[in-house]
Structure 1
Amino acid sequence: MSKPKKKKKQQSGWTITGMIRITHWLPGWFIRSLSRMTAYANFLLDWRTTKVMRKNFQMCYPDLDEAAINVKLKNSIRHNSCLTKEFATAWLGGRSQIANMFDQVEGSALIDNILDEKKPLIMAVPHIGNWEFFWHWLQFNYRIIGMYQPAKYYGVEKLVLDARQRFGGQVFPTDTKGIMNLFRALKQGKIMMILPDQVPRMGAGIYSPLFGHQAYTMTLLHKMLNKTGAEMLFGCCLRNSNQSGFNVHIEAPSFEIRNRNVEDFNADMNRQLESIINRWPNQYQWTYKRFKRQPEGNDPYSFK
């Protein structure tokens, strides 16, 4: 990378981290209101983010008419507008500030039972509610590990990495050495958190059905379960009804996770992800281009 480009990226990183710090300092009501106004402007002007959300709703809920999709869009915007302040708090907040945001926990006995049996555990946490807060809840209560992909800007990467390891968690890069360290840490009895609905790099996934469409889905989770003998649970951290705090939800897989081919495993995993999303559709990250990689090479998010 040339020196001017490197300097520009450093300056952009400082700007972004500065904005995150200001967001953390400003009152929550102000940031949420500002985020909501920006999101609604995006909706009214039908900018790219709204187009992505609309396309996702059209693909996942083909029976809905335009009016019903607009209702879903507005509900999703209301929840997405919370993320800006929430991420700033997750990355810069203190332990007591974050711990006080958890209201209820459902299903933690499932984790404790697995750990009592001295088995490794993988928590599959989709992009619903706030996954950064779920990571913190795990940090506060268990020995946990996870993966990270290097951020585009150094300052942002350092901020996020520091946050994810501040309360005892440990993260590894998604390279060969990092994956080996993950396997080793899992076998030592630590809990691994993974985002199962993330689009993997080419060669690291297969096409599996999700809401009736082909979605490029990771094979790493299936591989780790079978090579380490780990158990698996699903989890999410959901905003409560008045959006003043979070409820942690944990559930067991509704399918057999062991001794199966990856095609059947991924199909069943995506089916359970559908169930989770359908229970709390307003809190899913519909702005994510989940179907961007298609078998035919077309991109459903190529808007004119």
Structure 2
Amino acid sequence: MRSFLFRLIIILTSLFPLTWTRRFARSIAALFWRFSKKHRHITNTNIALCYPQMDSEQQQILAKETVLENTTSLFELGHIWRRHGTDINPLIQRIHNEEILHQALAQGQGVLLAAPHLGNWEVLGLYLSALERFSLLYKPPKDASIEHLIHHYRGQSGANQITADSSGVKKILVALKQQHLIGILPDQQPKSGQGVFADFFGVPAYTMSLFSRIAAKTRTPVIMAAAIRTHKPAGFEIHFRQVSDDIYEDTETSVAALNKAIQDMVAIAPSQYQWTYKRFSIQEGDNPYQVKSKAAG
């Protein structure tokens, strides 16, 4: 059923202009916010943890906008994949700091590109795969039918897709030797034993160490990137930013630098970050997402 709905969303949303798709997403997001207690709770928890300087009204506004933007990312897929899968450039309104990418590529060592769950990373992936030899590391969804669809659409522009497992690490190292641009989503919470805790918006976040270990081992240039949604006109702006040289230090220092770089990217468009994700569910103390039952009496 989930695979059928996913396929249906892709087909239907490819039939309309991007502005119409986004309006429809806004309507769905309003329903989602109202009736999805679970996701509302996760989003509110993340916003409260990461933006304590905001009052409750400001936090609610950001949380609602986050649900809207995250829903929009889903409903943009048909337009992006089916209409622009082999040429995403018509949707790109502007590219910020493009010279950072070209300077990194010019070093001839390949490039490690950190693309957090910000804006629409499918747009970024298609843009990069058409630009340069591009490989991306991904975590396969549980539904094999959905994985097949994603693999097909992401591969339209020639992206080399590498699964996030033990063999995937070896493939990344080989691709870097072939001077590939490697895209990794660095803010997915890893399994226990595959990361370290580092500050993220003032909160300890269990963060993958894989990215940092590859950077330290290869000394490959590292940059940040995101495709941020624009509305007038409807499209996207690509942002590139450099990462501190601390990324090449010991694992704890490197992961802290990575999270700081992600945090700086999120500041570009906070509502377009995936605050609907349980980023802090692994903690040394209490799970912040756990709903405490009311005391009897």
TM-score by length of structure 2 reads: 0.90
Q: Is the 8 A contact 1:32 1:81 kept in 2?
A: no
1:281 pairs with 236, 251, 270, which one?
Answer: 270
1:271 pairs with 249, 260, 266, which one?
Answer: 260
SS at 1:92 equivalent: helix
State the shift of 1:241 in Å: 4.4
Q: Check if 1:302 corresponds to 2:290.
A: yes
State the shift of 1:95 in Å: 4.2
Amino acid at match of 1:25: L
Q: Is the 8 A contact 2:86 2:126 kept in 1?
A: no
Amino acid at match of 1:55: T
1:195 aligns with 185
Q: Is the 8 A contact 1:237 1:248 kept in 2?
A: yes
Q: Output aligned runs, 1:12-161, within 5 Å.
A: 12-44=2-34, 47-95=37-85, 98-161=88-151
State the shift of 1:103 in Å: 1.0
2:205 aligns with 215
State the shift of 1:96 in Å: 5.9
State the shift of 1:40 in Å: 1.9
Unaligned runs of 5+ in 2: 293-297
Structure 1 residues 119-155: Cα deviation after superposition (integer angstroms, max 9, x where no partner): 2210111111111111111011110111122222222
In structure 2, distance between residues paired with 1:255 and 1:26:
44
2:280 aligns with 291
SS at 1:93 equivalent: helix
In structure 1, distance between residues paired with 2:8 and 2:61:
34
State the shift of 1:72 in Å: 1.3
In structure 2, distance between residues paired with 1:291 and 1:217:
9
2:172 pairs with 173, 182, 192, which one?
Answer: 182
Amino acid at match of 1:276: M
Amino acid at match of 2:269: W
Counterparts in 2 of 1:199 and 1:280: CA distance versus 1, 3 Å: same
In structure 1, distance between residues paired with 2:108 and 2:20:
46
Q: Check if 1:231 corresponds to 2:221.
A: yes
State the shift of 1:224 in Å: 0.7
Structure 1 residues 5-46: Cα deviation after superposition (integer angstroms, max 9, x where no partner): xxxxxx543443234322323554554333322322343457
TM-score by length of structure 1 reads: 0.88
Amino acid at match of 2:13: T
Unaligned runs of 5+ in 1: 1-10
Query: Cα RMSD over matched residues?
Result: 2.0
State the shift of 1:278 in Å: 2.1
Amino acid at match of 1:293: I
More deviation in 156-165 or 234-243?
A: 234-243
Counterparts in 2 of 1:46 and 1:118: CA distance versus 1, 3 Å: closer
State the shift of 1:220 in Å: 0.5
Q: May I ask how many residue pairs the two structures share in their alignment? A: 292
Q: Is the 8 A contact 1:123 1:192 kept in 2?
A: yes
Amino acid at match of 1:303: V
SS at 1:269 equivalent: helix
More deviation in 268-277 or 34-43?
A: 34-43
1:7 aligns with none
